[in-house]
Amino acid sequence: MGFVTTPLADLSPADLAAFLETQRAAYEALKGRGLKLDLTRGKPSAEQLDLADRLLTLPTSTRDADGVDVRNYGGLTGIRQIREMFADLLWVEPSQVVAGGNSSLSIMHDCLVHLLLHGAQESPRAWAAEEKITFVCPVPGYDRHFTMLASHGIEMVTVDMHEDGPDVEAVARLVKDDPSVKGMWIVPTYANPSGSVISQEKAAALASMDTAAPDFRIFWDNAYAFHHLTEDEAKSADIITLCSAAGHPNRPLMFASTSKITYAGSGVAFLAASEANVAWYTGHEQFASIGPDKVNQLRHVEFFGSAQGVRDHMAKHRAILAPKFAAVDTALSTELAGLGIADWSKPTGGYFVNLDVLDGTATRVVALAKEAGIVLTPAGASYPYGKDEHDRNIRLAPSFPTLGEVETAMAGVATCVALAAAESLAAGHDDKVAYEPSIGNPEGA
């Protein structure tokens, strides 16, 4: 299909009709292949998980460096060795780190629950007692962040995500006068799904901006801090120091985990924040937990050996992942370059490629792909309530399938993108009525 390189919108009706026929034929051929491929979630592949299989026979000891029997109850903040290791990696002090269970999402939810039921140190009352709570959500963003807020009836207002982070002027305007705006989400490094990395300047702006709410919190989900895809390794902005320097030490709550370092479901998750926030968190968690799984923490300490061990391990992931991301770019470039119907990110880290297709066709692309056996994240999933008003954003997750599967799937996706665009443009030529997808949104966000 590379034989057309004119922007599709500039084609004559006859040429467009011919292009559409070509794409229809290509799509029928695609369907005939009986594919069964899944690009929906940012899951590590079995090959990546294998890298950590030494965990299965660790730890060799049952006592931590302080002599504590890790098998027994207690130790709400986690064992000292893993806190020190990840304090080093996250550029904070060990006293600013809590090592928890297997899910940073759960720590995020715990923080949100404590805020709803008790409020923060500076809160006039529990957040649940407020008439309205609003979060600022850079878009496109992580669907689980948004569904968590929606599940608690928290309102969401969006700002645009750019290559160097969110539109901080827009954020500053939203938080300045409205005390209901209590928080914001951000994936600062290799963002889900845009791949963008927040600049120091933008991080500093978020740290120092005036907020009407005295208890404003930045949920800083540093899920991909060490997840580089190139030698150009992004350094995460040091939001905790920036906020502290700006006089808002309790503003950031940083989250991280080893889920995409060792085992996705059996890693160690972390909260990093001011000591006051650590005390706030453990002050509530003491009523809810007998302590984290310290055996798994010691297992990870022995596995990594040191902070450098974590970095070295990430290089092995990069060797597996980088070719898959290259394959996505190659497939999209080969099929779609020059057609003016798609734009996609070339991330230097993280787990996703952000694909923007012709306005109004994302839902159709996902439906076409599904019919051809290629499951994509539902269109709009990267927006609050699953609503992408332009219907153009698709999140691609190439980590889980094999390289060959990624190549096959992405060639198929490119066909769907071209077909949907041609259909849409041809419909415009035909009767200028609004495009109606014939298959519809296959599933909720």
Span of 39-47, 190-198, 241-249, 320-328 interacting with a second copy by CB under 8 A: 39-47
Binding flag, residue 74, a second copy (CB under 8 A): yes
Closest separation in Å from C-beta 43 to a second copy: 6
Chain centroid, CA 84 distance in Å = 26
User: Is residue 340 within 8 Å of residue 9, measured between CB atoms?
Assistant: yes
Binding flag, residue 289, a second copy (CB under 8 A): yes
User: Is residue 219 within 8 Å of residue 255, measured between CB atoms?
Assistant: yes
Tokens of 62: 């049952």
Binding flag, residue 29, a second copy (CB under 8 A): no
What per-residue string of b and e applies to 130-146 under the rule 16 or more CB within 10 Å gives b? beebbbbbbbbbbbebb
Binding flag, residue 105, a second copy (CB under 8 A): yes
Closest separation in Å from C-beta 257 to a second copy: 9
How far apart CA 159 and CA 325 sit, in angstroms, is 27
Instruction: Tally Cβ neighbours within 10 Å of residue 95.
Output: 13
Tokens of 117: 């039921």
> What single-letter DSSP state applies at residue 235?
P
Of 17, 18, 35, 49, the one binding a second copy (CB under 8 A) is 49
Binding flag, residue 293, a second copy (CB under 8 A): yes
Q: Which is nearer to a second copy, 88 or 293 (CB)?
A: 293
Q: Which is nearer to a second copy, 155 or 356 (CB)?
A: 155
Binding flag, residue 350, a second copy (CB under 8 A): no
How far apart CA 176 and CA 274 sit, in angstroms, is 23
User: Is residue 368 within 8 Å of residue 250, measured between CB atoms?
Assistant: no
Closest separation in Å from C-beta 258 to a second copy: 12
Provide the mask over 244-283, with x wherever binding to a second copy is found by CB under 8 A and - wherever it is not: ---------------x---xxxx-----------------
Of 66, 73, 433, 440, the one binding a second copy (CB under 8 A) is 73
Of 25, 245, 279, 290, the one binding a second copy (CB under 8 A) is 290
Point out which residues pair with 166 in neighbouring strands: 161
Of 60, 66, 432, 434, the one binding a second copy (CB under 8 A) is 60
Of 35, 113, 246, 322, the one binding a second copy (CB under 8 A) is 113
Binding flag, residue 295, a second copy (CB under 8 A): yes
Span of 18-26, 144-152, 360-368, 410-418 interacting with a second copy by CB under 8 A: 144-152
Provide the mask over 351-390, with x wherever binding to a second copy is found by CB under 8 A and - wherever it is not: ----------------------------------------
Span of 46-54, 187-195, 330-338, 367-375 interacting with a second copy by CB under 8 A: 46-54
Binding flag, residue 434, a second copy (CB under 8 A): no
Of 228, 294, 364, 395, the one binding a second copy (CB under 8 A) is 294
How far apart CA 166 and CA 171 sit, in angstroms, is 8
Tokens of 203: 């991080």
Alpha helix segments (H runs only) across 178-306: 200-208, 239-245, 275-285, 294-304
Strands (E), 179-276: 181-186, 217-221, 252-257, 269-272
User: Is residue 146 within 8 Å of residue 183, measured between CB atoms?
Assistant: no
Q: Which is nearer to a second copy, 8 or 156 (CB)?
A: 156
End-to-end CA separation in angstroms for the chain = 31
DSSP strand pairing (353-357 vs 342-344): antiparallel
Residue type, 33: R
Of 103, 222, 348, 424, the one binding a second copy (CB under 8 A) is 103
User: Is residue 21 within 8 Å of residue 438, measured between CB atoms?
Assistant: no
What is the H or E stretch that residue 421 is in?
helix 403-431
Q: Which residues contact a second copy (rule: CB under 8 A)?
A: 41, 43-44, 46, 49, 52-53, 55-60, 62, 69-75, 101-103, 105-106, 109, 113, 116-117, 128, 144, 147-148, 151-152, 259, 263-266, 284, 287-296
